[in-house]
A and B are shown apart, each in its own frame.
Chain A
Amino acid sequence: MKNKSVLITGILALAFFVFSGCRKEAVSNLSDADTRIYITQYDSTVGFSTYKTFSIDDSLTVLNNGVASRSLTTTGQAFINAVIKYMQQGGYTQVSKDAGPDLGINLTYINTTSTGLIDYSSYWGYYGGYYDPLYWGYGGYGYYSPYSYGVYQVNSGALSVDLLDLKNAVAKGKINIIWNGLIRGEGIANANTADNQVSALFSQSAYLKTN
């Protein structure tokens, strides 16, 4: 009898540990800011100090489940302003796109409502399709990116900042994407945090400077 009660106590204790959540939830406690990842990559054959001027697209391209559109909201403007700010901190001079900038900057908000897996290399594959190189005055040119992303589970948006090599476009016959910053996670589309988010991209890209 005594052993039976001990056995029952033991089994109940075991059941308690099994069913009372003895596995700590890994990411449910993350704040929106902590859910975000900032990925930057650059063309290592390029010397960023050889570029001096830049121009930035005055609108965001929005990719909504693969369909591209143009948009300029308060949030989008906040991101554009932040990119200008950190480019200028690196010593680059903003000029109009008609003034022959060394660098062109595109901002793209990628939104998908699907879940599952997405390979961001497909994002690059479609780049020329949704972003007309004529905007930068290089109609007929193709975009080229040496990068590809890994496979990530997608259930939220992403913001991509691309630096385009316009200075050497004619010589190379294509528009090389020489730097990309990608923000992924929750709460990206927020004007109040746009500066912090862009700051994170530039702070881990110390090579983005003119000297």
Chain B
Amino acid sequence: MKQYWITSLLLLFLLPASSLLAQQGEVKVNLGYTIGLPLGDFKTNYIPNASPRGFMGDLSYGINNRWAIGLGFGYQDFYHQYDRTVYDLASNKQISAVLTNSIQTVPLIAKVSFTPMQGTVHLIQPYLSAGAGISLLTFHQYLGEFSADDNRTKAKFTAMADAGFIVPFHKRDTNTGFQLGVSYNYTRFGQPDAANLNTVGIHAGLVFQLHN
């Protein structure tokens, strides 16, 4: 069994160079719709619900059949309104308010993608990708209709890992198809009760070749 796995991995990584280079120089675009699911402290203290308002995309350049590098971008809008609650502003100062959190992220990242079956005729083409960069993060917190002092958009470090598959529209053209994936996204948030903005993104969209 162990030998089988080793052999499989060797076959995967040591395909003939002619096949490997078939995708070299190809530029592909991926555009999709994203649902963002908050995790951890971000979920507990800021946004308990999933956000159905997002999109993502990337522009990639094929190094060879399996590896591509590129630029990724996206947008996700998180929003939650808490019922009226009394909060302590200080030990002798309380405020009762409907609290609303409104957070938008616009990640701009450098990515690397690995598609082990690219160029083959498989119906499903799995992929893995990872990237890092900055996210333009805008955070508005409202007490009633009043916004807090600091609402500026800030650039924060962000990183992501993504896994999924592409279903090509045509058996012999694996460069165009439907893509479905799940990503883990980390963005520095820097709030006292949520250091990081961690989310899982479920995305679906189209991938197509832009240039060969």
Residues of A bordering B, CB below 8 Å: 2-3, 6-7, 9-11, 13-14, 17-18, 22-24, 26-27, 30, 34-44, 147, 150-153, 156, 184-186, 200, 204-205
Contacts and interface: CB of A to CB of B under 8 A. Distances in A.
Interface of B: 29, 31, 33, 53-55, 57, 75, 77, 79, 84, 86, 89-98, 100, 102, 104, 140, 142-147, 149, 176, 205-206, 208-210
A18 B104 CA distance: 13
Contact of B33 (A7, A17, A40, A184): A17
A6 B206 contact: yes
B95 A14 contact: no
B95 A2 contact: no
B142 A26 contact: yes
Nearest to A22: B53
Contact of A10 (B92, B93, B145, B208): B208
Contacts of A34: 84, 98, 144
Contacts of B90: 41
Contacts of A22: 53-55, 75, 77
A185 B145 CA distance: 7
A184 B75 CA distance: 34
7 contacts: A3-B209, A10-B31, A18-B75, A34-B84, A34-B144, A184-B146, A186-B145
User: Would you list the 7 A-B pairs with minimal beta carbon distance, nearest first?
Assistant: A35-B145, A26-B102, A41-B93, A38-B96, A37-B144, A10-B31, A24-B79
Contacts of B205: 10, 13
A6 B97 CA distance: 48
Contacts of B98: 30, 34-35
Contacts of A39: 89, 93-95
A40 B87 CA distance: 11
Contact of A43 (B57, B92, B149): B92
Given A3-B210, A27-B144, 19 more contacts: A9-B206, A13-B205, A14-B55, A14-B57, A17-B55, A17-B75, A23-B53, A23-B102, A24-B102, A27-B145, A30-B98, A35-B98, A35-B145, A38-B96, A39-B95, A40-B93, A156-B145, A204-B94, A204-B96
Nearest to B210: A7
B74 to A, nearest CB: 10
A33 B37 CA distance: 30
Contact of A26 (B57, B97, B100): B100
Nearest to B73: A14
A156 B145 CA distance: 10
Given A13-B31, A22-B54, A185-B144, A27 B206 contact: no
B144 A7 contact: no
B31 A14 contact: yes
B95 A37 contact: yes
Contacts of B57: 14
Given A26-B79, A40-B93, A41-B92, A10 B29 contact: yes
A180 to B, nearest CB: 9
A18 B31 CA distance: 13
A44 B53 CA distance: 46
A187 to B, nearest CB: 11
Contacts of A147: 93
A42 B94 CA distance: 9
A52 to B, nearest CB: 22
A182 B29 CA distance: 54
A138 B147 CA distance: 39
Residue with the greatest number of chain A CB neighbours at <10 A, chosen from B91, B96, B144, B206: B144
B140 A26 contact: yes
A7 B94 contact: no
A135 to B, nearest CB: 27
